[in-house]
Chain A
Amino acid sequence: MSRIPPAMKRSGREPNPLFPRDEYLFRRVPLDLWDDPGDPLEVNAIELPDMFVGRSRFGHPEWLRIHEGTYFAVWAVIGFQVGDVPPEQWKDGYPQFTFNTIHTPEELNYPHSEVQAFDGGKHIDLLDALPDDVHLKWRELLLRRVTIFLRPHQGATIRQTAPATHHPEPIPPGEPE
């Protein structure tokens, strides 16, 4: 188990609602979905909103391996930019869903955020709202925008200080714990 970096904790800070379109949103990928670093990341691992993510403005990719005292040392971490969530798939024949990224800090995880989907202002579950073929296509389009920050089993040193900007910096190498 890895110690939670002090800069990762909320420490009384308020949510920050401003998301630049080029800010990265990080997600961890369970080993069940992607285990072999030699395999490409596949659409099976791409989820629909609601998605829990970590903001690059306030956290590093490797922090996604830490969750409430549990350390997912060998899980992959991927990310996409706020402006990359592809809404254009249901312009024809489907409601005009919109997406909103909301900063929802937790006590031990200040960067924690959620990507949520809305239909006419109402928060919805896309998996229920969309036909299967549409959401599969949407996930493929998001997969194309994804950047891989840590492959499965790739070691990383957990940085203790907060990022200087929302542009991710190279991850210090390290051995998986």
Chain B
Amino acid sequence: MPDVEFQVRPLGESTCGQRRPGNSSYHITLVKGDALVVIRKTSTGGSQVTFSGPTVNWKKYYDRLRTFRTSEADGDRGRFPAPNASAIVLAHSFLQYLQGANYPPAQVMPSVVGGVGFAFRRSGRKVYVEFNNKAAVHALFSDGVSDPVVQRVRPEEAGYQQWMAKAKAYLDE
């Protein structure tokens, strides 16, 4: 998940950090990222605040994927081949899997060798998944220093599950 930072402080808190007696309300400031904050009335007349985690604008990824085959003419795009239909279809299915797992990429982009790339990054490490125009999928694990590792990914749900377990272990643990 992308980093989300909150600042939570009691409402009415003075600049020296003291809280007004009896004040049970809180001020929530989102410092970085997006999150869904749900406030519910409780049966006792109070409020319950729930953070349901970051909200991700998945539409922007689908929209971006759609542009890959219809973007500028070759002259403007450079000499690289556009992602073909099979790469787009597989990348779309991968995006659906990521959405189901609420595991958004940092970037979705075309590849200069033909295909679609997804980048995931955490504190100096990255996992880059490339769906190429030969309908093959590979994941690259790199920390920028040690020898990078490349593994093949089976473009189906079980393959994506295996990949995600490795990616989470590499990036998030």
Q: CB within 8 Å of B: which residues of A?
A: 28, 30, 32-34, 39-40, 42-48, 52, 70, 127, 132-137, 139-141, 144
Contact = CB atoms under 8 A, between A and B. Distances in A.
Contacts, number: 75
Given A32-B77, A33-B80, A136 B109 contact: no
23 contacts: A28-B78, A30-B80, A32-B68, A32-B72, A32-B77, A32-B78, A32-B109, A33-B109, A34-B109, A42-B109, A43-B130, A43-B140, A44-B117, A44-B119, A44-B130, A45-B112, A46-B112, A48-B113, A52-B79, A133-B150, A136-B138, A137-B148, A140-B148
A160 to B, nearest CB: 25
A37 to B, nearest CB: 13
Contact of B75 (A43, A44, A70, A139): A70
A34 B77 CA distance: 11
A42 B136 contact: no
Interface in B73-113: 75-80, 106-107, 109-113
A136 B140 contact: yes
Contact of B130 (A40, A70, A136): A136
B119 A42 contact: yes
Given A46-B112, A133-B138, A133-B150, 15 more contacts: A32-B72, A32-B110, A33-B80, A33-B111, A33-B112, A34-B109, A39-B107, A70-B75, A132-B132, A132-B136, A134-B150, A136-B150, A140-B142, A141-B148, A144-B144
A47 B119 CA distance: 17
Contact of A42 (B71, B72, B107, B144): B107
Interface string B109-153: 111110001010100000010101010101010101000101110
Contacts of A34: 109
B113 A47 contact: yes
Given A133-B138, A136-B130, A140-B148, A33 B110 contact: yes
B112 A42 contact: no
Nearest to A46: B112
Contacts of B72: 32
Interface in B39-71: 68, 71
B95 to A, nearest CB: 16
A33 B76 CA distance: 12
A141 B113 CA distance: 16
Contacts of A42: 107, 109, 117, 119, 128
